[in-house]
Chain A
């Protein structure tokens, strides 16, 4: 149980294009999902908290117009990197918190983005 998937696992795009990453909770409902960014050999940096049916809450320093987050259902949140540039290249990981399961976050396998 408590499986979270991400799609795609790998994406390469040209500078200036937009990329959408999906995060799905496969066997549970998640009112809250989180988006993290991880640089090589570093810890996870929380980008934003996504609540179903409402606007995402972004961490300080994260551009909300660049990283668009939508949480349209209890099992799906999307992160769109708009007008991507090489500095946006990173490993993006989502997590989901169960509605009925307390405070535990379950993580997806991550999406590696390379912007050329």
Chain B
């Protein structure tokens, strides 16, 4: 079965600074990878996804993520954060080989932005 690890529970970043949120996965082949963002009391919004092809994927709100097979990672980046980026971020993995529709979510990283 697949698994996802988000090593950082909470990250604090100054507004305007760059951001990288880490995500590592475990799966026997190339998985489907997703990053979602959740504001307090809200559902999840899809930021970006990777299925195949170019390993650097662009998402909404200026986010990007890079799939690195050798490191089993799919880290999320943003060059300059805005106060509105404060939220909970979830990495998720799907398992295409087994036709598994389920997503496995990481435990999330809470992002705090300071002025």
Contacts and interface: CB of A to CB of B under 8 A. Distances in A.
B90 interface: yes
Interface residues of A, number: 24
Interface string A92-109: 010101000011111111
B46 A93 contact: no
Contact of A93 (B34, B43, B101, B106): B43
Interface centre among A43, A95, A107, A109 (most CB of B within 10 A): A43
A6 B42 CA distance: 11
CB-CB nearest 4 A-B residue pairs:
A107-B44, A109-B43, A107-B43, A110-B43
B76 to A, nearest CB: 16
14 contacts: A41-B110, A42-B108, A43-B105, A43-B108, A49-B101, A91-B41, A102-B51, A103-B51, A104-B34, A105-B34, A107-B44, A107-B46, A109-B42, A110-B42
Identify whether the interface residues of B are mostly helix, strand, loop, or mixed: strand
Interface string B89-112: 010001010000111011110100
A91 B39 CA distance: 13
A112 B40 CA distance: 12
Contact of B90 (A34, A44, A49): A44
A97 B36 contact: no
Which bracket fits the contact residues of B? Answer: 20 to 34
A68 interface: no
Which of A32, A97, A105 has the most chain B CB atoms closer than 10 A to its own CB? A105
A103 B101 contact: yes
A104 B49 contact: yes
B51 A43 contact: no
Nearest to B6: A43
Contacts of A44: 44, 90, 105
B90 A103 contact: no
Nearest to B107: A43
Contacts of A46: 102-103
